Amino acid sequence: MAKKCAVCAKMCPSLSSLTTHLSSHTGEKPFKCALCSKSFSLKCNLRSHVRTHTGEKPFQCTLCSKSFSLKGSLRSHVRTHTGEKPFKCSVCYANFRQEAHLRNHLHIHTGEKPFECSVCCVKFSQEATLRNHLRTHTGDKPFECSVCNATFRHEASLRYHLRTHTTEKPFECSVCKRKYSNEPNLRRHLRTHTGEKPYKCSVCNVKFSREDHLRSHLRTHTGEKPFECSVCNAKFSASCNLRRHVRNHIVEKA
């Protein structure tokens, strides 16, 4: 007979499953990993964790044969094939494949920026954005094109770059029919029609239609100049300013 949790009203199929479920409320973690001593409230979570040590990936995608250690990871992956985006933002109705992506997205609306750069103290609403930002300090470009060996800071940038080899442009503007190789470029282009400026400076409240324009603008507040001329070592806050400067050297040599 099903048992009801007195805390959250969840129905559990048996008394034993209710007892296990209650540990998620009490904070009790009776299931301990024998390899690293990390503890879990649920036995199934311990089993999933142990696979991070063993490398076991029992959940295989039937469409591309890629394997995963977690069933939830497989479900998320399958959506890359089906295009399903079941998690919808209640504010702007954007759709996401993963619940975690929706949670990160919501920070944009709340203005919350819990992720801070340890180098320049700039704050971000999403952890992934912080990781990407850190590469502007380290110069790390871990994603390499298998065709031309170009390297990129972001995996998405590599994916978009690969379309320059295939000339594929699957994303079409519904207003003017212009086509783009990636969805972010299409979204950016659409703002030229709508006038939308969703990226707001937390210091002076100036708004921008593009996130990279906001990032460049923020450097006017922080004083950061990550773009350095290889000829004279002059530094710039924006890559376009560096390109303009480099042309001066080319003219001088001509």
What are 176-217's pLDDT values in tens digits? Answer: 999 988 788 888 899 989 999 988 999 999 999 888 889 889
What are 156-181's pLDDT values in tens digits? Answer: 888 888 888 887 888 899 999 999 88
The whole-angstrom separation of Cα 89 and Cα 86 is 10
pLDDT of 121 > 80? The answer is yes
Q: Tell me what the pLDDT averaged over the chain comes to.
A: 86
pLDDT confidence of residue 11: 84
Per cent of the chain over pLDDT 70 is 99
pLDDT confidence of residue 254: 61
DSSP string, 30-63: -EE-TTT--EESSHHHHHHHHHHHH----EE-TT
**Which of 152, 110, 116 is CA-nearest to residue 135?**
152
Fold agreement between 31-84 and 197-253: yes
Mean pLDDT across 214-237: 90
Domain extents for the chain?
A: 31-84, 197-253
pLDDT confidence of residue 112: 85
- Compute the CA torsion angle 151, 152, 155, 161 (nearest 10 deg): -80
The answer to whether 42 and 20 have CB atoms below 8 angstroms apart is: yes
pLDDT confidence of residue 204: 94
Beta strands in the chain (DSSP E): 3-4, 11-12, 31-32, 39-40, 59-60, 67-68, 87-88, 95-96, 115-116, 123-124, 143-144, 151-152, 171-172, 179-180, 199-200, 207-208, 227-228, 235-236
8-state DSSP, 163: H
Per cent of the chain over pLDDT 90 is 11
**pTM for this model (two decimals):** 0.40
Mean pLDDT across 225-253: 87
What are 47-76's pLDDT values in tens digits? Answer: 888 888 888 888 899 988 888 888 888 888
91: left (phi over 0), alpha (psi -120 to 50) or beta: alpha
Instruction: Kindly report the backbone phi and psi dihedral angles of residue 202, in degrees, each rounded to the nearest multiple of 5, phi listed first.
Output: -75, -10
What are 69-120's pLDDT values in tens digits? Answer: 888 888 888 888 888 888 899 888 888 888 888 888 888 888 888 889 998 8
Whole-number Cα distances in Å, 89 to 22, 94, 97, 102, 109 = 30, 5, 12, 7, 10
Tell me which of 20-24, 130-134, 172-176 is least confident: 20-24
pLDDT of 251 > 80? The answer is no
**Helices then strands (H, E): number in the chain?**
9, 18
Mean pLDDT across 135-154: 88
pLDDT confidence of residue 207: 92
- Domain 197-253: give its CATH code: 3.30.160.60
Q: Which CATH class is domain 31-84?
A: alpha beta
**Which of 165, 192, 173, 170 is CA-nearest to residue 181?**
170
> Which residues, in sequence order, are CB contacts of 68 under 8 Å at separation 6+?
57, 59, 60, 61, 74, 77
The answer to whether 204 and 217 have CB atoms below 8 angstroms apart is: no
